[in-house]
Amino acid sequence: MNKLRRLLLIAVVIGIGFWVWTAWFTNPKQVIKNRLNQVARLASFEPNEGAISRLAKIQRLGLLFAEDVQVMVDIPGYEAHTFSRREEVMQVVMASPRLGNGLSAQFLDMNIQLGSGDQSALVELTLEAKINGESDILAQEMKFTLKKIKGDWLITRVETVKTLKP
Amino acid sequence: MAGEINTAGNAGWIQTIAIGRRPKRTMVRLAVLIGLALCLFLIFSFVLMPIRINGPSMMPTYQNGQINFINRLAYLNHEPQRGDVVGVRLSGPHLMFVKRIVALPGETISFSGGCVCIDGKPLDEPYLKFPSTDWEAPPKRLGPQEYYVVGDNRSMPFEDHQKGATERRRILGKIVLHGES
């Protein structure tokens, strides 16, 4: 019985130690991954999601971007656009007519490269987006640049990558 | 006494359910099953990657929603060939483009009147069922590690069809099951 108690105590100590380690010494790559997954969640909308809920999501989404963020979008079949500043990006998302139909977005295959001193990061990933009611999915390779600003990882640049060069 | 006999009987019954009447044989079976599962996991993760075709760009050779596999060992001994249908990865292997190679490294490709021209000569494409008559693009010379890939559905508008040059490192492998020809 004593042996069992000792084993249980050791397991508990190891568990607490692991939790403290992960809470205090967080891996920046994991923080960035969580941050980008949060972006994908906030950029996903249920069909006929209420305007207030949508607005709240877009406000929260905006907080994940730096104020002077640069977004360059060039998707085959669509006109290329460049947006600078967080407010402009939020306005574009808010005004998107397709959001009403519902959109689910997720980021796959994230390759994270940390910059010097772990103060910046370059992330290559694939966006998989599906608009409700449409059979095709949008698969788009993207590059995100993040910087640690006042202790928080914020997105400073977003650009689409041409997997197939025309 | 009767209770003890009953408990022992229960334990024996549970043991029989859990590890069978011949524990050694059960262990061997279990090891074989685990080995088989591991082999299947390794094969389908690293050798034959299962994929589901999405989108119309390879129609009618491959239909939207069809299941297929990418053979990742196809180009161990030789380089990709013209006419091969290959998987081109994006940032990783979870999403890929399935396209046909029409031009090889160093070649010059152009589209003229819907036809693919390689180094100025029209390419014979017997696999095309939905040809185009209006695809036009100026000549483009490929780099030493570049392949030009395009879908079989050329009836789509030129701008809406994802096609272009890709680096060799992005080609994951060759499609396994042949489509309609």
Average pLDDT over residues B114-124: 94
- Residue numbers in A near B90 (CB within 8 A): 109, 126, 139-141, 163
**Which of these is catalytic: B99, B132, B155, B163?**
B99
Q: Does B174 touch chain A (CB under 8 A)?
A: no
pLDDT in tens, A42-95: 999 888 888 888 889 999 999 999 999 999 998 877 788 899 889 998 888 888
Query: Is B166 touching A (CB cutoff 8 A)?
Result: yes
ipTM over 0.90: no
Q: Determine the pLDDT at residue B7.
A: 55
B160 in contact with A, Cβ within 8 Å: yes
* pLDDT, position B181: 60
Q: Is B99 a catalytic residue?
A: yes
Answer whether A33's CB lies under 8 Å from A121's CB: no
Whether B84 and B93 have beta carbons less than 8 Å apart is answered as no
Partners of A152 in the β-ladder: A149
Residue B8 pLDDT: 54
CB contact under 8 A, A76 and B162: yes
Q: Is B138 on the interface with A (CB under 8 A)?
A: no
Bridge pairing between strands B48-52 and A81-84? unpaired
Contact B164, A164 (CB under 8 A): yes
- B57 among known catalytic residues: yes
Which residues does chain A have within 8 Å of residue B170's beta carbon, measured at their own beta carbons?
Answer: 163
Long-range pairs for B64-67: beta carbons < 8 A, 24 or more residues apart: B64/A135, B66/B179
CB pairs under 8 A between A and B: 63
Q: Does B149 touch chain A (CB under 8 A)?
A: yes
Is 50 exceeded by the pLDDT of residue B50? yes
Model confidence, pTM: 0.81
Q: Could you tell me the CA-to-CA distances from A52 to A47, A48, A58, A94 in Å, in that order?
A: 14, 11, 10, 11
Residues from chain B that touch A164, judged by Cβ atoms under 8 A, are 88, 97, 99, 149, 162-166
Closest chain B residue to A130 measured between Cα atoms? B54
Interface touch A164/B92, C-beta < 8 Å: no
Q: How do beta strands A152-161 and A65-73 pair?
A: parallel
Reported confidence tier of residue B26, pLDDT bands at 50, 70, 90: confident
User: Inter-chain contact A126–B149, Cβ cutoff 8 Å?
Assistant: no
Q: How far apart are CA B174 and CA B147, in angstroms?
A: 14
